[in-house]
């Protein structure tokens, strides 16, 4: 048989910063997309071997298995404090935390506010899925009004359970914050925008321009109790109006960065 | 005297519920009983198993290494529990998902395609009751009547319309087990 | 009332509801979360207070505040969450207000895992928070006992103005057993006279754990010890099985205790005179009772799901009079009855030295079990 050689072009490749193993995430979960974006940015910036990740307690507790850079695992909510310890001792390394809404906006609220307030040169990737995924679907600080969870069985009643925490808005008020934005993972266009933001957040850190956070609107089809497709639609219909995508703080120095 | 039964399969196969039906029936028939699941983070696609112990005196350990019987609804569960059943015990194997025969000859093996039988009955999810019926045919720790009554009294309200077909599934499983050459 | 098939976590929650709990605070954590979820449904429906706090640190301080009003209050968590509550607990102890806590223990230290464990014994029984204080600690081994002890916990907390812990583990939390719930008690309408509820025309009250003058703090500490003495005299609880003629007595609490019961029965079937002593109050610990047992029985086997935290208390009771051996599974592994049976049979055959550390001997025997290579 005669074969003609066709020029081979690589259009898709696993980033070297991402481990070549299957994850434990539910099918359709956006945690996997977020992981990939971070890994692509690490590859592009060629920072994998000087990056240290801090994993949270939540569904992404095993994030350290999925990246090929160094990693530590924090107590629930304390990742920004642990990251601070690492960054202060090793200021020339790139340090990032990866945290869920329960982890960061509930039990870890104090640590995140103070890390941002100090202008700690860290990058925080914040996965807002409006629920406690790992423990089976309880109310998160980001759960929407009226949203049913296993600990708000009749829907979140803001009278007794309070209002959703808008973390990007909140942190953007702090002078230490260099770059604070919100993106979403529900469609390709938004995923591309999310990646750009993650890149800029890491650049902020590398240039010593202070605290950076990218909030990523995410899905948890399992605990929302709907299909994967429905969960994407639900994010678009309900989360985006409550949590508008946008740049909440871009310090002048960060705005001048050329990527 | 106590009887230990392990029911194991993939999440969603109804292993835990089958165990609960057994536990309810045992309780209503005046026995001591424990039901204990394996539990893990709320993730899809994992394995699920439970241990049910039925006894006539206060039950010590709710877990045993070597059960009197096991229902295995998938291959990993067969691999795990086949070696553990006590000699003379009963092993119910779901041949719809298991493509090997059992290796033990000192226990009573029941090979039964519970998925197909459940589908014949019009509802895939009945496979756990088919398997339970097969077990009870060979291990009469409770009568089918007692287990039926457990279903009647404890099937969640939203599933009550499935009561009759659940009963049918139990019987179909038992009949199959009694006819099958084991 | 008839028996229902109940899951441990839900049974404890409903028992508290029926015991008249007025306010519950908590934060999700496996393997305890069903308890919180049950409360989230039940308490608002009854017009009582349920609040999911932002953290265990906040939850324990919400509990502290609610307890100061004299309300019946409760919190539940699992090991890492309980660790976070230690500061608040110390304040509650120093303020002498009654609270009930349920700890559904899991494997540790650190994040560990969510499997059943008994690793919180020391942190709870022997303190954890700073300063001198003594919580009452009750350890159920079945769903029925978990219900009964939860109800008792509220009564003891109020009687002694004390912290009362019910310590279960993942096994008891997740297990279903037939059990009977108590009747619904009315929520109380009268409050203790120390409660801070607004002076409402009466004399004012205040509650605090601060005694800035050391001599006052000394007196407060002494007073708390007086209360503790009364607790020690009146609140020892335990259960004995086959001890009349036992030559080998197994000592274990909670899940480890009930697993040991199976092993003891099997040992008896093989002609070995074995018995079981199951402490129910871990604090106060049944010291005198164990000492008495050590006069009749020949050897002890302590079984735990930790590296021997209760063992130290048993040794304190037995005072070296008879030999003790130790067996444990760690990190969330639950022993099977067969393992404990093998230990009983071994002890029946072997001479056990009076001196030496039972823990060290166990470590040597245990190494092959986990394929440990030096
Ligand atoms: C001190 C402490 N409290 C509670 C827990 C239990 N816990 C584990 S993950 C989690 C919530 C995770 O939710 P989130 O941060 O939103 O992450 P997701 O799983 O949704 O990605 C909780 C409450 C814990 N591990 N430690
Ligand atoms: S439980 Fe939710 S957040 Fe966790 S892996 Fe599954 S879909 Fe993702
Ligand atoms: Mg979340």
In this prediction, residue B12 carries a pLDDT of 86
Out of A77, A136, A153, the one facing C33 most closely (by C-beta) is A136
When divided into structural domains, chain C yields a total of 2
Residue among C173, C104, C92 at smallest CA distance from C135:
C92
Q: Is A63 in the pocket of ligand 2 (CB under 6 A)?
A: no
CA–centroid distance, B78 to ligand 1, in Å, is 34
Question: Would you state the pLDDT for residue A2?
Answer: 61
Question: Would you call B44 and A223 a contact, using CB atoms and an 8 Å cutoff?
Answer: no
Q: What is the pTM (predicted TM-score) of this model?
A: 0.95
Set of chain C residues whose Cβ sits within 8 Å of the Cβ of A150 = 33, 37, 40
Domain ranges, residue A38: 31-255
Average pLDDT over residues B117-122: 96
- Residues in Cβ contact with C268 at an 8 Å cutoff, skipping those fewer than 6 apart: C242, C274
Answer whether residue A149 shows pLDDT above 60. yes
Inter-chain CB proximity C5 and B23 less than 8 Å: yes
Task: Return the pLDDT at C44.
Answer: 98
By C-alpha distance, the chain B residue nearest C29 is B41
Q: Is the distance from the beta carbon of residue C196 to the nearest atom of ligand 1 less than 6 Å?
A: no
- Same domain for C256 and C192, yes or no, is no
Question: Is the CB of residue A29 below 6 angstroms from any atom belonging to ligand 2?
Answer: yes
Write the CA distances from C145 to A256, C182, C228, integer angstroms. 67, 12, 24
Q: Do B41 and A134 touch (CB under 8 A)?
A: yes
Report chain C residues touching chain A, CB-CB < 8 A: 27-30, 33, 36-37, 40-41, 44, 51-52, 54-57, 80, 110-111
Domains of chain B by residue range:
2-179
Q: How far is C118 from chain B (nearest CA, A)?
A: 16
Answer whether C106's CB lies under 8 Å from C78's CB: yes
Residue C181 and residue C260 in one domain: no
Tell me the mean pLDDT in the region B151-177.
92
Task: Tell me what the mean pLDDT of segment C91-113 comes to.
Answer: 97
State whether CATH 2.60.120.260 applies to domain B2-179: no
Give the pLDDT confidence score for residue A3 in this predicted structure. Answer: 64
* Residue nearest atom 7 in ligand 2 by C-alpha distance: A220
Nearest to B61 among C3, C176, C337 (CB): C337
pLDDT at position A139 is: 98
Kindly tell me if the per-residue pLDDT of C221 is higher than 60. Answer: yes
Is the pLDDT confidence value at C1 over 60?
Answer: no
CA distances, C235 to each of C30, C283, C348 (Å): 30, 9, 33
Which of the two residues, B1 and C51, has the higher pLDDT score?
A: C51
pLDDT value at C183 more than 60: yes
- In percent, the amount of chain B with pLDDT more than 70 equals 95
Cβ contacts of residue A21 below 8 Å, gap of 6+?
A65, A66
Report pLDDT digits (tens) over C345-361: 999 999 999 999 999 99
Q: Which of C214, C234, C254 is the last residue of a domain?
A: C234
Query: Cβ–Cβ of B39/C170 closer than 8 Å?
Result: yes
Residue C345: per-residue pLDDT: 98
CB contacts < 8 Å between B and C, how many?
A: 67
Same domain, C162 and C273: no
- For residue C30, the chain B residue with the least C-alpha distance is B41
Q: Are residues C312 and C190 in the same domain?
A: no
- Same-domain check for residues C37 and C173: yes
A11 falls within a domain: no
pLDDT band for A188, please (50, 70, 90 cuts): very high
The CATH number assigned to the domain holding A118 equals 3.40.50.970
Instruction: Give the CATH number, domain containing residue C225.
Output: 3.40.50.970
Q: Under an 8 A CB cutoff, do A160 and C51 touch?
A: yes
Domain check: are C202 and C216 in the same one? yes
pLDDT tens string B153-165: 888 888 888 899 9
Q: What is the pLDDT of residue B181?
A: 57
Domain annotation covers residue A247: yes
| C147 and C250 belong to one structural domain | no
Residue ranges making up the domain that contains C90: 4-234
Higher pLDDT, B42 or A10: A10
Ligand 2 neighbour A31 (Cβ under 6 A): yes
Tell me: the pLDDT tens digits for C263-320? 999 999 999 999 999 999 999 999 999 999 999 999 999 999 999 999 999 999 999 9
A153: nearest CA in chain C? C41
Question: Which pLDDT belongs to residue B43?
Answer: 45
Whether the per-residue pLDDT at B42 is higher than 50: the answer is: no
Q: Output the CA A149–ligand 2 centroid distance in Å.
A: 14
**Total domains present in chain A:** 1
- A1 confidence band (pLDDT: 50, 70, 90): low
Do residues C291 and C355 both lie within one domain?
yes
| Domain boundary residue, one of C234, C253, C272 | C234
Atom of ligand 2 nearest to the CA of A224: 2
A52-88 pLDDT, tens per residue?
A: 999 999 999 999 999 999 999 999 999 999 999 999 9
Of C240, C244, C344, nearest to C297 by C-alpha is C244
User: Which of C182, C212, C234 represents a domain boundary (last residue)?
Assistant: C234
The CATH number of the domain holding residue C245 is 3.40.50.920
3-state secondary structure of A215: strand
Residue among C37, C41, C86, C109 with most chain A CBs within 10 A, to mutate = C37
> What would the pLDDT profile of C227-267 be if each residue is shown by its tens digit?
999 999 999 999 999 999 999 999 999 999 999 999 999 99
Whether A4 maps to a domain, the answer reads no
Asked if A138 and A131 touch (Cβ cutoff 8 Å), the reply is: yes
C-alpha A19/C-alpha C243 separation (Å) is 57
What is the predicted pLDDT for the residue at B156?
84
What does the pLDDT read at residue A50? 98
- Asked if pLDDT for residue B180 goes beyond 80, the answer is no
Q: C75 and C48, same structural domain?
A: yes
Mean pLDDT of the region B102-130: 95
CA A123, A128, A129, A133: dihedral to nearest 10 degrees?
A: 60
Closest partner residue to C40 (CB to CB) among A109, A134, A151 is A151
Residue C138 phi/psi, 5-degree rounding, is -120, 135
* Ligand 1 neighbour A127 (Cβ under 6 A): yes
Judge contact between A70 and A52, C-beta under 8 A.
yes
Residue B143 CA to residue B152 CA, distance in Å, equals: 14
């Amino acid at each position: 048989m005669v074969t003609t050689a066709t020029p081979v072009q690589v259009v898709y490749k696993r980033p070297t910063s991402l481990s070549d193993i299957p994850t434990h995430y539910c099918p359709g979960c956006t945690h996997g997309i977020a992981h990939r974006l971070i890994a692509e940015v690490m590859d592009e910036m060629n920072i994998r071997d000087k990056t240290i990740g801090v994993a949270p307690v939540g569904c992404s507790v095993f994030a350290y298995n999925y990246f090929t850079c160094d990693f530590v695992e924090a107590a629930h909510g304390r990742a920004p404090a642990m990251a601070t310890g690492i960054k202060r001792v090793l200021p020339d390394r790139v340090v990032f935390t990866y945290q869920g809404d329960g982890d960061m906006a509930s039990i870890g609220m104090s640590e995140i506010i103070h890390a941002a307030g100090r202008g700690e040169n860290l990058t925080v990737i914040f996965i807002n899925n409006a629920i406690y995924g790992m423990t089976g679907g309880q109310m998160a600080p980001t759960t929407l009004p009226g949203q049913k969870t296993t600990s708000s069985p009749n829907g979140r009643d803001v009278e007794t359970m309070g209002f959703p925490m808008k973390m990007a808005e909140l942190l953007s008020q702090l002078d230490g914050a260099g770059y604070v934005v919100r993106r979403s993972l529900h469609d390709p266009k938004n995923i591309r925008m999310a990646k750009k933001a993650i890149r800029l957040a890491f650049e902020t850190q590398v240039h010593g321009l202070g605290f950076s956070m990218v909030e990523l609107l995410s899905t948890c089809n399992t605990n929302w109790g709907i299909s994967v497709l429905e969960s994407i639609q639900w994010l678009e219909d309900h989360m985006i109006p409550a949590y508008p995508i946008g740049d909440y703080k871009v310090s002048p120095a960060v705005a001048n960065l050329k990527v | 005297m106590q009887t230990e039964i392990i029911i194991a399969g993939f999440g969603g196969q109804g292993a835990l519920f089958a165990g609960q039906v057994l536990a309810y029936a045992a309780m209503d028939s005046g026995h001591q009983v424990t039901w204990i699941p394996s539990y893990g983070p709320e993730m899809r696609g994992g394995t699920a198993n439970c241990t049910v112990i039925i006894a006539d005196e206060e039950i010590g350990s709710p877990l045993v290494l070597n059960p009197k019987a096991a229902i295995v609804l998938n291959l990993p569960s067969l691999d795990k529990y086949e070696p553990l059943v006590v000699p003379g015990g009963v092993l119910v194997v779901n041949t719809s998902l298991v493509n090997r025969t059992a290796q033990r000859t000192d226990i009573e093996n029941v090979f039964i395609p519970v998925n197909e039988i459940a589908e014949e009955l019009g509802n895939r999810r009945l496979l756990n009751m088919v398997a339970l019926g097969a077990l009870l045919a060979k291990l009469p720790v409770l009568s089918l009547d007692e287990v039926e009554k457990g279903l009647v009294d404890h099937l969640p309200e939203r599933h009550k319309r499935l009561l009759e077909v659940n009963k049918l599934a139990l019987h179909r499983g038992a009949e199959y087990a009694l006819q099958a050459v084991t | 009332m008839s028996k229902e098939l109940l899951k441990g976590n839900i049974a404890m929650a409903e028992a508290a509801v029926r015991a008249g709990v007025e306010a519950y605070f908590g934060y999700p954590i496996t393997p305890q979360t069903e308890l919180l979820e049950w409360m989230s449904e039940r308490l608002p429906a009854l017009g009582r207070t349920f609040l999911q706090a932002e953290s265990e640190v906040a939850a324990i301080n919400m509990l502290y505040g609610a307890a100061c009003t004299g309300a019946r209050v409760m919190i539940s968590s699992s090991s890492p969450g309980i660790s976070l509550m230690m500061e608040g607990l110390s304040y509650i102890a120093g303020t002498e207000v009654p609270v009930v806590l349920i700890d559904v223990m899991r494997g540790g230290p650190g994040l560990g895992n969510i499997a059943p464990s008994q690793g919180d014994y020391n942190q709870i029984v022997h303190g954890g928070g700073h300063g001198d204080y003594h919580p009452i600690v009750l350890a159920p081994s079945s769903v029925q006992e978990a219900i009964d002890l939860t109800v008792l916990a509220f009564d003891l907390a109020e009687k002694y103005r004390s912290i009362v812990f019910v310590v279960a583990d993942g096994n008891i939390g997740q297990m279903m057993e037939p059990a009977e719930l108590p009747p619904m008690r009315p929520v109380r309408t009268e409050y203790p006279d120390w409660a801070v509820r607004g002076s409402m025309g009466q004399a004012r009250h205040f509650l605090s754990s601060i005694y800035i003058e050391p001599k006052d703090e000394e007196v407060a500490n002494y007073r708390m010890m007086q209360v503790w003495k009364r607790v020690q005299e009146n609140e020892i609880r335990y259960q004995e099985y086959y001890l009349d003629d036992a030559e080998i007595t197994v000592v274990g609490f909670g899940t480890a205790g009930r697993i040991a019961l199976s092993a003891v029965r099997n040992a008896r079937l093989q002609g070995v005179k074995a018995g079981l002593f199951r402490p129910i109050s871990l604090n106060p610990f049944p010291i005198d009772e164990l000492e008495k047992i050590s006069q009749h029985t020949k050897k002890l086997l302590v079984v735990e799901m930790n590296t021997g935290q209760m063992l130290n208390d048993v040794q304190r009771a037995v005072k070296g009079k008879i030999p003790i051996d130790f067996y444990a599974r760690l990190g969330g592994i639950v022993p099977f009855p067969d393992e404990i049976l093998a230990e009983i049979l071994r002890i029946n055959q072997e001479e056990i030295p009076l001196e030496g550390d039972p823990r060290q001997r166990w470590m040597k025997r245990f190494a092959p079990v986990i394929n440990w290579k030096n």
